[in-house]
C-alpha cells in the first residue's frame, strides 16, 4: 500500500491510466435508472450510459457515494496505519463529503482528512494529482493535505452545454437558472464558482462559445508559465479533441488530458457538453 492513501470519487473523471499511475482509489457515485441501482463506471460505463440515454423512456437520477462504500475503502488503510486523504466533489453539488464524514466516525483513532474540493470533473482531478505527486515525493501527510488545499485555489472549469434542461432537472443549476427560457439558439457558458454551477455568458453558437471559453481561460491563467489543461466531453469526442488542440496551440500547457464525463455528471449536464479544466501552478 502507498504511504498515504488518496481517495477521490468518480465525478473527477480521471482517465484510468492516471488512476493506476498515481495509485488512486476512486469511490463510485450512484445512478438510479428504471429501477436499477448502478455504480458509476462499475456497473455502467460512460459509453454505455450515453448510448442508453438516446432511447431511454425514463431519465436517471443520481445519489452520492455511500457511507458503506467509504467504510470499505477506509478499513484496510486504517488497519495498516496508513493515513487517508479523500478529495471529493463540491458539497454544493453532492452529499458525498457528508458520506465520507459519517464513515470516518467508524474509525475515531484513524488519521483521515476529508477535503471538499469546491469543484468537479478534472478541476477536482488536478487537485488529486497534485496531492498524489506530493505524496510520491515523500512529503509528510500534513504537507500533502496542505498542497491539496492550496491547489484548490488554482483550479477551475468552464463548460458549455447543449441545453440547460439536464442541470435544471437535476437541481444543480445554481445561479444559471436565470438563463432558462432564453432563445434556444443561445449556448450558455458556465463555470463552477464557490462550489456551484454559475453562468458566465450566453453565446450565439456552440462554436463561438468554445472560442470564447478559450478567451476566458486565457484571462484566468495569464502570467502563469506552468499550466495544466484537460478538455472534457459528454459524448462529443471530436469537439473536445478540437478544443484541446486549440488550447495546446494557444497556451503551450505543461500537461494536457482528454477526459470523458462519466454517467453521474453526464446525467446533470447532458450529452454534447464540452469543457476545459485548468490548473495554474503559481
> Over the stretch 10-50, which tens digit does the pLDDT of each residue have?
999 999 999 999 999 999 999 999 999 999 999 999 999 99
Is residue 112 within 8 A of residue 83, CB to CB? The reply is yes
* Cβ within 8 Å of residue 35, ≥6 positions away: none
Distance from C-alpha of 269 to C-alpha of 118, rounded to nearest angstrom: 17
What's the pLDDT tens digit per position in 195-247?
A: 998 889 888 888 999 999 999 999 999 888 899 999 999 999 999 999 999 99
Contact status, residue 154 vs residue 220, Cβ threshold 8 Å: no
pLDDT beyond 60 at 170? no
Residue 5 has pLDDT above 70, yes or no: yes
Q: Which fold has domain 155-280?
A: Hypothetical Protein Tm841; Chain: A;domain 3 (3.30.1180)
Residue 117 CB contacts under 8 Å (≥ 6 apart), including other chains: 87, 88, 89, 90, 123, 124, 127, 152
- Provide, rounded to the nearest whole percent, the portion of the chain with pLDDT above 90: 80
Rg of the chain taking only CA atoms, in angstroms: 18
Residue 133: per-residue pLDDT: 96
The conformation of residue 9, written as its DSSP 8-state character, comes to E
- pTM over 0.85? The answer is yes
Domain with CATH 3.40.50.10440 in the chain: 5-29+64-151
For 16-81, the DSSP string reads HHHHHHTT-EEE--EEEETTEEEEBTTTB-HHHHHHHHTT-SS--EEEPPPHHHHHHHHHHHHHHT
**Among candidate residues 158, 165, 175, the one with its CA nearest the CA of residue 210:** 158
* pLDDT reported for residue 144: 98
Considering the chain, tell me which residue range(s) the CATH 3.30.1180.10 domain(s) occupy. 155-280
Confidence of residue 98 (pLDDT cuts 50, 70, 90): very high
Region 182-202: mean pLDDT is: 81
CATH class, range 5-29+64-151? alpha beta
- Which residue carries 483513532 as its cell? 109
Where residue 184 falls among pLDDT bands split at 50, 70, 90? Answer: low
How far apart are alpha carbons 120 and 77 in whole angstroms? Answer: 25
Amino acid at each position: 500500500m502507498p504511504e498515504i492513501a488518496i481517495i477521490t470519487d468518480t465525478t473527477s473523471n480521471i482517465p484510468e491510466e492516471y488512476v493506476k499511475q498515481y495509485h488512486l482509489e476512486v469511490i463510485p457515485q450512484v445512478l438510479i435508472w428504471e429501477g436499477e441501482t448502478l455504480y458509476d463506471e462499475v456497473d455502467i460505463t460512460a459509453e454505455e450510459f450515453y448510448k442508453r440515454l438516446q432511447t431511454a423512456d425514463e431519465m436517471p437520477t443520481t445519489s452520492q457515494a455511500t457511507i458503506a462504500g467509504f467504510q470499505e475503502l477506509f478499513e484496510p488503510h486504517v488497519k495498516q496505519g496508513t493515513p487517508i486523504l479523500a478529495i471529493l466533489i463540491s458539497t454544493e453539488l453532492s452529499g458525498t463529503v457528508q458520506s465520507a464524514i459519517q464513515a470516518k466516525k467508524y474509525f475515531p483513532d484513524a488519521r483521515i482528512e476529508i477535503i471538499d474540493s469546491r469543484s468537479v470533473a478534472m478541476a477536482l482531478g488536478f487537485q488529486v494529482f497534485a496531492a498524489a505527486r506530493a505524496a510520491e515525493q515523500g512529503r509528510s501527510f500534513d504537507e500533502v493535505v496542505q498542497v491539496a488545499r492550496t491547489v484548490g485555489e488554482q483550479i477551475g472549469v468552464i463548460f458549455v452545454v447543449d441545453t440547460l434542461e439536464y442541470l435544471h432537472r437535476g437541481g444543480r443549476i445554481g445561479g444559471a437558472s436565470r438563463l432558462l427560457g432564453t432563445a434556444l439558439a443561445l449556448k450558455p457558458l458556465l463555470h463552477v464558482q464557490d462550489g456551484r454551477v454559475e453562468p458566465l455568458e450566453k453565446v450565439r453558437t456552440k462554436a463561438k462559445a468554445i472560442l470564447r471559453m478559450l478567451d476566458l481561460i486565457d484571462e484566468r491563467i495569464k502570467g502563469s508559465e506552468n499550466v495544466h489543461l484537460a478538455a472534457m466531453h459528454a459524448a462529443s469526442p471530436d469537439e473536445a479533441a478540437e478544443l484541446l488542440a486549440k488550447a495546446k496551440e494557444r497556451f503551450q500547457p505543461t500537461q494536457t488530458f482528454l477526459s470523458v464525463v462519466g454517467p453521474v455528471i453526464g446525467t446533470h449536464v447532458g450529452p454534447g457538453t464540452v469543457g476545459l479544466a485548468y490548473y495554474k501552478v503559481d
